[in-house]
Chain A
Amino acid sequence: MINPFYEPIAEVIRMRFLRQLSLALLLAGILLTASALIVSASDVTQAASTGEQIFKSKCTACHTIGGGKLVGPDLKDVPQRRSAQWLTDFITDPQKMISAGDPDAAQLLKDFNGVMMPTLGLSTAEVEAVLSYLQNPAASAGAGAPVVMGDPQRGEKLFRGAISLANGGAACNACHTVAGVGFLGGGALGPDLTKVLTRYGGAAGMAAALSTLPFPTMQGIFAARPLSPAEQADLLAFFAQADASGQTSFPLTIWLLLAVGIAGASGLFGLMYRYWPKQSESLSEKLRRTETV
């Protein structure tokens, strides 16, 4: 395989890597076994949650049963108002219903300030469990807890991350913009939250949303790192203040961002041109150049 001439050198390198090879094979074996175990484990159905548990953890942020409108409609008697098929489809994937042009879904979106229900990622069995719970719910589940307003200044610091969240969640500013925080605004992975209080129908709706953060992207982070009650209160006060301030966010477009990046990259190319040591012209290049002159 190797030219015999190089054999002695190859032998040295071979010895040097022999220990690592056995280590790597061990590592690869562990990794393969682990991934096989994980995949087989994922096929096993997760511990079945009851409809009530699912409702309390994922729905009460926006819905009550007999407690009135919150971010979304009151779900009292909803099995009588809509067909079981419609409810199943809507709970499974609300965005799909809207884009498919379902008239009832479109009307709901209009009635609730354009706040789309997040796709919760529930399995068919879980949706069925929630539906059967809605048929016969506990009295007035999710009747809004009393709204506590905290310190808006502390809320602003929590929002941009000057004070870290107690349970280790990412700061809001990473993905969300609120006008007035930083002259260029915050992140754009999630929606602009300047007017979120109005969209969510007031402090009660926003407080409920902050308590569970039932949005799929946020659930990944915050399910295990929820906001503490004090943080929820401070952030709520901050959002209320931002909503009332009437400020608008800086319109930071990707073209403006790209222009900044391109300016920086051009500067780097300029530095290369000016300062990077270049090789002198080779003889063949010199010959070719003088020939054409």
Chain B
Amino acid sequence: MDWNILFFVVFPYLSLAACVSVTIYRAVYRPFTISSLSSQLLERKKLFWGNISFHWGINLVLLGHLGALLLPKGLTLWNGEPLRLYLLEATGLALGIWATAGMVILLYRRLTEARVKVVTTPMDLIVLGLLLLSGVTGLLTATVYRFGSYWFTGVFTPYLLGLLTLQPNTALVAPLPWIIKLHVINFFVMLAVFPFSRLVHIVAFPLEYLTRPWQVVIANRQADRLSANQPSANPIHKP
């Protein structure tokens, strides 16, 4: 059997099926596990530098991939002028490095902070490891095999649309360098891992936050139970 068919046809379908069905199973039978356990109370400084750069970076880069898939014509017209191509590539590369740096900070934090280590599950480390592999192979693809924002529309747009319309074509991906293939296979691995890990929190994106009324959250600590010499956490409650 052809390995390319296994990795670029069978595996994507299996992982997508697992991703969709198990996520819905989990949402129905374990509804309160559709989230990711916050460790912000345990450590905040490293979390700030890792979390924000990772989340904003990865989401903007993913949006770029999605744009290349859904609007290939617009992207190729943009890239027809080399200066615009360079601007897009430099922006993508900066966002990719920002996100990958965030992953490194988060992984370092998970491995070194004693308080965070206590609540870290093996799956948390697997997820961070897969993300880091995705970031590194993505950066290598963007630099060694440039210009991905341009050839994506010729290679991966037809490949992915073929997959989604049940007409897969491995001839497009089979001859590519192994780093690019690893980047793609790693994505399908993440798709399969998705419903079994903290990644499920993606489907709980709080869209209703945009429309719901304000909630005012007030910490109501009892200042008198604290040492008299220390300033209160909420000076506003002091007479």
Q: Which residues does A use to contact B, with CB under 8 Å?
A: 1-2, 6, 9-10, 13-14, 17-18, 20-21, 24-25, 27-28, 30-32, 34-35, 38-39, 42-43, 121, 157, 160-164, 169-171, 173-175, 181-184, 186-189, 216-217, 219-221, 223, 254, 257-258, 260-265, 267-269, 272, 276, 278-279, 282-283, 285-287, 290
Contacts and interface: CB of A to CB of B under 8 A. Distances in A.
B238 interface: no
A269 B49 contact: yes
Is chain B's interface secondary structure helix, strand, loop, or mixed overall? helix
Contacts of A279: 44
A221 B96 CA distance: 27
A272 B97 contact: no
Contact of B20 (A27, A175, A254, A260): A27
Interface stretch (B106-114, B118-126, B144-152, B207-215): B144-152
Of listed B2, B48, B169, B171, residue having the most chain A CB within 10 A:
B171
Contact of B76 (A9, A31, A161, A186): A161
B126 to A, nearest CB: 23
Contacts of B70: none
A254 B171 contact: no
27 contacts: A2-B32, A6-B32, A14-B29, A24-B21, A38-B168, A160-B82, A162-B80, A181-B82, A182-B82, A187-B145, A187-B151, A188-B144, A217-B176, A220-B174, A221-B154, A223-B171, A254-B143, A257-B142, A258-B97, A260-B94, A261-B94, A261-B97, A262-B97, A264-B91, A264-B98, A268-B98, A269-B53
A31 B17 contact: yes
Given A10-B31, A39-B9, A257-B146, A171 B21 contact: no
Nearest to B40: A279
Contact of A171 (B20, B76, B90, B230): B76
A171 B14 CA distance: 33
B147 A174 contact: yes
Given A189-B146, A220-B173, A285-B44, 7 more contacts: A2-B30, A27-B17, A38-B5, A160-B82, A175-B151, A186-B82, A283-B233
B175 A217 contact: yes
B153 interface: yes
B189 interface: no
A220 B24 contact: no
Is chain A's interface secondary structure helix, strand, loop, or mixed overall? helix
B172 interface: yes
Contacts of A160: 80-82
B196 interface: no
Interface in B122-176: 139, 142-147, 150-151, 153-155, 158, 166, 168-169, 171-176
Given A34-B166, A174-B79, A169 B14 contact: no
Given A174-B154, A220-B172, A264 B24 contact: no
Contacts of B16: 31
Contact of B13 (A14, A35, A258): A35
B146 to A, nearest CB: 5
Contacts of B185: none
Contacts of B69: none
A220 B175 contact: yes
Contact of B147 (A164, A187, A216): A187
A216 B146 CA distance: 18
A170 B177 CA distance: 18
A121 B139 CA distance: 29
B112 to A, nearest CB: 18
Contacts of B32: 2, 6, 10
Nearest to A279: B44
B59 to A, nearest CB: 13
A21 B30 contact: no
A10 B232 CA distance: 39
Contacts of B168: 38
Contacts of B52: 272, 276
For the complex of A and B, the 9 pairs showing the least CB-CB separation, nearest first, are: A264-B94, A170-B154, A182-B82, A174-B150, A261-B93, A216-B175, A161-B80, A28-B17, A265-B97
B30 A173 contact: no
A286 B231 CA distance: 9
Interface in B177-206: 177
Contacts of B25: 21
Contact of B155 (A13, A221, A286): A221
Contacts of A174: 79, 147, 150-151, 153-154
Contacts of A14: 28-29, 31
